[in-house]
A and B are shown apart, each in its own frame.
Chain A
Amino acid sequence: MTRISFGRILNTQTIALVSVLLLNWILFPGFFKIEWQDGRLFGSLIDVLNRGAPVAILAIGMTAVIATKGVDLSVGAVMAMSGAVAATLVVAGYSGPVAVGGALAVGLACGLWNGILVAVLDIQPIIATLVLMVAGRGIAQLITEGSIVTFSDPTLIFIGTGSFLGMPMPVVIAFALMVLVTLAVRKTAIGLFIEAVGINRSAATLAGIRSRLLLISVYSVSGLCAAIAGIIVAGDIRGADANNAGLWLELDAILAAVIGGTSLLGGRFSIPMSVIGALIIQAMNTGILVSGYPPEFNLVVKAGIITVILMIQSPLAGQVLGFFGRKKSGASR
């Protein structure tokens, strides 16, 4: 029993995360320092969690979508839209909860739209979601009229910058969402169905799985996740920045899912592993910030580390490592 759980924790993703964190510590000795300040935890490690939360939340939805052999390119734009909607609602005098509800409804509607394009009209996911990726940011810019809509609504600000039991709210929300969605897919048959549809949609339909409904649901969840991330990002800077909110984050979310071991060809997926993938990406970002390297190095360093992680995960490396693993276990027998 203990061996199983140990094996579950000790995998490529967690090793990569720990390695990146250790690397950060080497570059910046104060990296693991955590202080209690103004009723909340404060430190670089907390920053990694806090800043990683939006991408982690996107990755939760994205992982399910990718597992169905799809992809949702619109999440960044949906973030911008949901933030814009929330901000304009509170500026127009609505209460914070109404604004949050409105933003979530927009995310859900976007997800439904994507799901219908993919599941009912059978449009390739990359194209179907590209529509909203392009149009969504435009719509967000229309809502904010091109400028940053700033607000001082306490609900939205709490979601973005508040804390619960010392943990920043974005971290609490991301963690809760991860647990919730993981339970929702693993304690029901939904996870199995998602994998089945991703591996062979035709066979899944023949086996009696309502694949259309499933796909629509999965894209809707992705839309909702994006909306939540959008509210967090807007709350964080107390303003909806339609031009920059969520920009390129769809790519980070896809990367997080891939680092988390979900194949772009659909099938097996793990939501916690994707969240760890998101944290790996953020750990690199934060590491670069505290290390003091000039910004010209950022992208090169990031690309290099990601390449190493993906290479370790590649089937070939798996064979090589597996070979050594077998040899070792053979010796111990």
Chain B
Amino acid sequence: MRVSRYRQSLADNPRPFGSPLYAGQSVEMPILSRNGEPAQRRSRPYLHIIVLMLSTLHAVLGRNAARPREKILSILKKLALAAGIATALSSAAMAADMTVGFSQIGSESGWRAAETSVTKQQAESRGINLKFADAQQKQENQIKAIRGFIAQGVDAILVAPVVATGWEDVLSEAKEAKIPVILLDRGIDGPEDLYLTSVASDQVKEGKVAGDWLVGTVKDKDCRVVELQGTVGSTPAINRKKGFEEAIAGHSNISIVRSQTGDFTRSKGKEVMEGFLKAENGGKNICAVYAHNDDMAVGAIQAIKDAGLKPGTDILVVSIDGVPDLFSAMAAGEANATVELTPNMAGPAFDALAAYKKDGTMPPKFIITESKLYTPADDPKGEAERRKSLGY
């Protein structure tokens, strides 16, 4: 019903992309205009000056510091472009002058950084002009950025939503402006007609792939598993736990004996694993550790080593994400398996967008990326190197 309404509105307007009314208009970000308000007049002026200076400095430094790397990357990409003339040219020609806004959550993890750089690479290789906005973990900033994109009249908007709720107003505005929105990597709670499609991995499946690997590895031996959960209540933590549990259900020889949160961080992963090792007879009672992300697994590996055990041998290590450091550990025989969460969410998104723009092909509502399992058989050393260049 809702999808059809979206189609309807598209049919009504023969030129759904870009809004010439707004194009070229300067965009005033509300956060800046607020600082100059006279409400602050009576307080100490230098304080505001300092804060302003700092934030400006921060912003300027941020951009400048990012530039050299971007330049190198862009040069590399141009070389790649030149090499792959045929495909690149055709896609670039098709998407000529297309401007896409990308509201990224932030750079809270290496994976996120890789997603950002892969998105930029993908846009570059297709000749898409990408406008990037880092929301620094705040929905407020994302909403502002999206409003900014709408006002600029971009052709499409990519959003990696920081939270699941509260998007209806701003996405309706985008819809009214006839700008298609594609969600990356995370979903939202809300009417499905607010976005064109959503590109994400299936987190439950990731957990299941990890669990299936463990089931296949231990066969019918008894295995006591400890689990390092992600941040309590976060969607990936819930789903990756669920998938893993589904996989081991019906295998009574495998059981999760301890489960705690490591907040997706390396140092908490290490700390929690230390606790588990003490609580499980110095680790002798643990057969495997399942970490909801690789960072926690890397921390856990260190804790296992500190306890005088061999990770990968004495205790199996399986985790999700596929970050370079985990591949390095795998190459050293200290990790056994990881399920890749591809940082290339933008590629399928741009493909769907191009098809849609070309002849109105509606993409499926949910585009699921592949959840590939990597084991020591998959050239972990090479994978580590390849991934480091992606900006993890």
Cβ–Cβ contact B65 & A142, under 8 A:
yes
Cβ–Cβ contact A147 & B47, under 8 A:
no
- Smallest Cβ-Cβ distance to A289: which chain B residue: B275
CB contacts (< 8 Å) of A238 on chain B: these are 302
Give the CA-CA distance A131 to B55 in the complex, in Å: 9
With contact pairs A131-B51, A238-B302 given, residues A150 and B267 touching in the complex (Cβ less than 8 Å) = no
Cβ–Cβ contact B260 & A295, under 8 A:
yes
- Smallest Cβ-Cβ distance to A239: which chain B residue: B266
CB contacts (< 8 Å) of B47 on chain A: these are 121, 123, 127
Cβ–Cβ contact A138 & B306, under 8 A:
no
Contacting A at CB under 8 A, from B7-39, are none
The minimal Cβ–Cβ distance linking B206 to chain A, given in whole angstroms, is 20
Count A-B pairs with CB separation below 8 Å. 122
- Smallest Cβ-Cβ distance to B257: which chain A residue: A292
The minimal Cβ–Cβ distance linking A298 to chain B, given in whole angstroms, is 7
Cβ–Cβ contact B260 & A244, under 8 A:
no
Give the CA-CA distance A28 to B278 in the complex, in Å: 10
In the complex, identify which listed stretch (B109-117, B151-159, B170-178) lies at the interface while the others stay far away.
B109-117
Give the CA-CA distance A245 to B271 in the complex, in Å: 13
Cβ–Cβ contact A237 & B325, under 8 A:
no
Give the CA-CA distance A127 to B392 in the complex, in Å: 34
With contact pairs A237-B302, A289-B260, A296-B232 given, residues A117 and B278 touching in the complex (Cβ less than 8 Å) = no
For the side of the interface on A, what is the size category?
35 or more
Per-residue interface assignment for chain A, residues 27 to 40, with 1 indicating a CB less than 8 Å from any chain B CB and 0 otherwise: 01010010101100
With contact pairs A123-B47, A146-B107 given, residues A290 and B307 touching in the complex (Cβ less than 8 Å) = no
Contacting B at CB under 8 A, from A288-328, are 288-290, 292, 294-296, 298
Q: Which of A38, A43, A123, A298 contacts B278 (CB 8 A)?
A: A43
- Say if the beta carbon of B223 comes within 8 Å of chain A: no
Interface residues of B (CB under 8 A from A): 44, 46-47, 50-51, 54-55, 57-58, 61-62, 65-66, 69, 107-110, 112-114, 116, 136, 229, 232-233, 258-261, 263-268, 270-272, 274-276, 278-279, 282, 295, 298-299, 302, 306-308, 325, 391-392
- Say if the beta carbon of A243 comes within 8 Å of chain B: yes
Q: Is the interface of B mostly helix, strand, loop or mixed?
A: helix
Cβ–Cβ contact B271 & A289, under 8 A:
yes
Give the CA-CA distance A248 to B391 in the complex, in Å: 26
- Say if the beta carbon of A286 comes within 8 Å of chain B: yes
Cβ–Cβ contact A243 & B109, under 8 A:
yes
- Smallest Cβ-Cβ distance to A132: which chain B residue: B54
Nearest 7 A/B pairs, CB to CB: A289-B275, A146-B107, A146-B113, A295-B261, A147-B110, A244-B265, A290-B279
CB contacts (< 8 Å) of A150 on chain B: these are 325
Give the CA-CA distance A285 to B270 in the complex, in Å: 13
CB contacts (< 8 Å) of B271 on chain A: these are 47, 51, 285, 289
The minimal Cβ–Cβ distance linking A299 to chain B, given in whole angstroms, is 8
The minimal Cβ–Cβ distance linking B369 to chain A, given in whole angstroms, is 21
With contact pairs A38-B308, A146-B112 given, residues A290 and B278 touching in the complex (Cβ less than 8 Å) = yes
With contact pairs A236-B270, A243-B108, A289-B276 given, residues A295 and B259 touching in the complex (Cβ less than 8 Å) = yes
Q: Which of A123, A241, A244, A295 has the most CB of B within 10 A?
A: A295
CB contacts (< 8 Å) of B55 on chain A: these are 135
With contact pairs A237-B270, A238-B302, A295-B260 given, residues A30 and B278 touching in the complex (Cβ less than 8 Å) = yes
